[in-house]
Amino acid sequence: MLMIRDLNVYYGVIHALKNVSLTVDQGEIVTLIGANGAGKTTLLRTISGLITPRSGEVLFEGRSLVKTPAKEIVRMGVSQVPEGRRVFATMTVEENLEMGAYLRKDKDGVQKDLEMVYSRFPRLQERRRQSAGTLSGGEQQMLALGRALMARPRLLLLDEPSMGLAPILVQEIFSIIQEINQAGTTILLVEQNAHMALSIANRAYVLETGQIKHSGPAAELAQSDEVKKAYLGG
């Protein structure tokens, strides 16, 4: 579904991504783990069309995303849940969700998906008239996920969904991610909580200073001494 080949991204003279190659197959959860500053968010922003690479390919279902406007990439079926949630704080929960469907013209379908999001996140339904800025961190993360789902993505890019959340909420968010995947959405997950990410992913890549250092089945990487030492506290 997604193929990245020899991707090189620069910020001025800083070489942020160095010959990065990875694939995501339809129906998978693939996770990308690595320390802060490794280039994980840069990779997601490049896939989303927010950053133009110096060289390399990003293909979604065989079509190049390089130099494709970000809104066209959303229209093609790729949505991103950004790091830090980025909800529209002064707008209501429902208005935030409607913003996720801004490219869609099928009113009935949008209404149906709104009901689907509310059934998946009952707390959002309870707070649908509240401004998003008044929600807790966990509720804002649910809203950011719900807003991305309103675009009906086939590929969902998740950037640090557990950041800043209490452990019990981290469990809840990861359960929801698995449910979204089981309902048919392919997921590329960037996550610093390597334990949780590897526990739900099919495959994993480890990014270090802009380069892929390890890749393989998530269960195998979770058992790798090198990965354990660097990312799993052992």
pLDDT score, position 39: 95
pTM to 2 decimals?
A: 0.91
pLDDT score, position 169: 85
The parts of the chain modelled with pLDDT lower than 70 are: 233-234
- Return the residue matching tokens 């929801």: 176
Q: Out of 3.40.190.10, 3.40.50.300, 3.40.50.880, 2.60.120.560, select the CATH number for domain 2-87+153-231.
A: 3.40.50.300
- Give the span between the Cα atoms of 22 and 34, in whole angstroms: 15
pLDDT score, position 234: 56
Q: What single DSSP character describes residue 217?
A: E
Sorted by sequence, the CB contacts under 8 Å of residue 11 that are 6+ apart come out as 42
* Burial zone of 122 (CB within 10 Å; 0-12 exposed, 13-18 middle, 19+ buried): exposed
Domain residue spans of the chain: 2-87+153-231
Tens of pLDDT along 181-190? Answer: 999 999 999 9
pLDDT score, position 33: 95
Tens of pLDDT along 138-153? Answer: 899 889 989 999 999 9
Which strands, in side-by-side order, build the sheet including 186-190?
A: 78-81, 155-159, 186-190, 29-33, 203-208, 211-217
